[in-house]
Amino acid sequence: MADQAATAPADVDSTRAKSANIFTVVLGYIGELSILLGQTLTALLQGRINPRDLIQQMAFLGVHSVAIALLTSFASGAVIALYFSQFLNRYGVGSLVGAVVSLAISRELAPVLTGVVVAARAGSAIAAEIGTMKVTEQIDALRALAVSPIEYLVVPRVIASLIMLPAVCALADAAGIVGGYMVAVYMEGIPAATFPSSILQFLEPSDFYLGMVKTVVFGLIIALVGCHQGLRTRGGATEVGQATTNSVVLSIVLIYLSNFFLAAAMFTKSSGI
């Protein structure tokens, strides 16, 4: 009994130490991202943007991600319509299916799915590309030529993310609603005119706009995390792989966390729904 009593305080101290260490690491990482954001904004305000690199990154981050974003949003809208058509018809309010689908897609699913898709596809590629440049000393070569890695590598990717994610999200909104319409009307027997009329009755333009505002935040997260993981890479191919994995995991975690706070700030008081 005495040994157990002596061990308990030691376990508590160990747990506290681990918690404090995790908290310190999280704060340190947030600080590093904030510094990178400040450097990016400084370069941006000075107008140091390469239009050619920007267009290339816009195509890579946005255009090449459209297909998978549309597919995931279409499927999500279809599934929501399938479930809620059956549920709402049971209580005689099947006419609300269009409103449910459009609100779920525009407020939550399209922005979040767009962010996750781009994080998995483009965010990982950003980390891998910059990480490879880092371990092969190409970043050092840029500095030797008096070229800032922030201006050359980070700024175009950040701007491209801020521009293209809302554009992809707008297309994903449409795809999700179309998917819901097709299932509700052609599979569940919801009248074709009822679906769009319920959307017009309950959906506000702000639902779309605020959903796209979310993707601006998600785009900033994806670009900053990917660039940061790449720039801090040390070692060789193994470390590049770890940086790529960390970029995807951290981006998705931050997207979901920020989505909660953004949703709480945007929608809990702006609408009665």
Q: How does DSSP classify residue 105?
A: I
Query: Is 272 a residue whose pLDDT tops 60?
Result: no
- Please tell me the predicted confidence (pLDDT) of residue 13: 56
Angle between helix axes 205-231 and 155-186 (nearest 10 degrees) is 140
Residue located via tokens 């700030």: 265
- Please tell me the predicted confidence (pLDDT) of residue 97: 93
The per-residue pLDDT for range 16-69, each reduced to its tens digit, is 665 667 778 778 888 888 999 999 898 888 877 778 889 999 999 989 899 999
Mean confidence (pLDDT) of the chain: 88
The per-residue pLDDT for range 182-214, each reduced to its tens digit, is 999 999 888 999 999 999 999 899 999 999 999
Query: Is 228 a residue whose pLDDT tops 90?
Result: yes
Work out the percent of the chain whose per-residue pLDDT is above 70. Answer: 91
Rounded CA-CA distance 165/155 in Å is 16
- Please tell me the predicted confidence (pLDDT) of residue 22: 74
pTM of the model: 0.87
C-beta separation of 220 from 108 below 8 A? no
Retrieve residue 60's tokens. 């890579």
**Shortest CA distance to 180 belongs to which of 67, 66, 65, 84?**
84
Confidence of residue 8 (pLDDT cuts 50, 70, 90): low
Rounded CA-CA distance 219/62 in Å is 10
The per-residue pLDDT for range 133-186, each reduced to its tens digit, is 999 999 989 889 888 899 889 999 999 999 999 999 999 999 999 999 999 999
